[in-house]
Structures are given as structure tokens and as C-alpha cells.
Amino acid sequence: MGSDNQVRRQSRWVELFDPETYYPVLERLSSYLTIADFLVLCQVCRRLAGLKDCILRKISSVNIRLRDFVDDPTMFRSQLGNCGALISGSFALNLFELSRYKVLYLDVFVRDGPDTDHFTNYIRETEKYQRNNPEVRTVESSC
């Protein structure tokens, strides 16, 4: 009988990490724990093994990270590709290192010409960035 109680208690504890059921718990933990911490947590119990895939997908998702800067990350990435634009700087480093640091600026490089005009129009009209916004600036190329 005591064993049944223990299994039920353990079952409820493990269910707290279910991304479908208790998303806020997992979301909150992901803002504090590193990837290494999550991997250790997944080794605590076999039933937490699915958590590893969920967290790795979340941490490595470009779209989730882009939501801090744009309303529609998928469309933004499509526009980047259409214009031959490149994301650089802290955002790119953070993504490649799978870091959780807060990035304040998104550095986007677009070759001067028609693509620049197209991307500028998109970012102003669709994403509502303004030219007089201190976060948006144009840098002249020396090439």
C-alpha cells in the first residue's frame, strides 16, 4: 500500500514537467535553468526523458527567440531569405551557443540596393519599426 502511494506521488511530481499540461512550470524553469541543468534533471527519472527533447527544441528555436523583436518570426525569416539579409551580433552568438542571455538588439545586414529598400519597407510597414527609432539605424558599407 505504501508503495502505491509513493508511485502516485512520484507520478504527480513528474507530471508537473509535462509541457502540455503544466506549461507555465516548464516555461518558468527554462528561464532559470541551463541546458546542463535540464539534462541533469532528465536523468533524475526515466519519465522525464521526454523533457529533454522539448527543452532542446525550445532553446534552439529561432522563431521563439525572434518573437522578442518581431510579431511574425516566420515571415521575418522569409523576408531575410528573400533579401539575402543576415542576422549577426549578440543574437546570432546567443543562438549558436544556446545561451539564455537577454539580447537587446537585433543586428540585420542587407546588401545596399533594391533588397535594402524592400526589407526596409517590410520592417516599417509590417513590423512597425520607425526610422527615428533609436533601435533602427543604417550603417554605410565600406565595400
Give the model's confidence band at 85: pLDDT under 50 very low, under 70 low, under 90 confident, else very high: very high
Mean pLDDT over each residue of the chain, to the nearest integer: 80
User: Within a domain: residue 47?
Assistant: yes
Over the stretch 52-65, which tens digit does the pLDDT of each residue have?
A: 787 777 777 899 88
Specify whether 23 is located in the same domain as 53.
Answer: yes
130, pLDDT greater than 60: yes
- Residues 106, 54 share a domain: no
Helix (H) or strand (E) holding 109: strand 107-109
pLDDT score of 132: 61
The proportion of the chain whose per-residue pLDDT surpasses 90, expressed as a percent, equals 33
Q: Is residue 135 a part of any domain in this protein?
A: no
Q: What is the pTM of this model?
A: 0.65
Averaged pLDDT, 5-19 = 62
- Let me know the angle formed at the C-alpha of 66 by 138 and 143, rounded to the nearest 5 degrees: 30
Kindly state the average pLDDT of the residues 8-27: 66
Domain count, the chain: 2
Q: What are phi and psi of 89, to 5 degrees?
A: 75, -155
- 40 lies in the same domain as 72: no
Which one of 59, 81, 97 terminates a domain? 59
Closest listed residue to residue 90, CA positions, set 100, 73, 103, 77: 103
* Judgement on whether residues 55 and 66 belong to the same structural domain of the protein: no
**What is residue 137's predicted lDDT score, i.e. its pLDDT?**
58
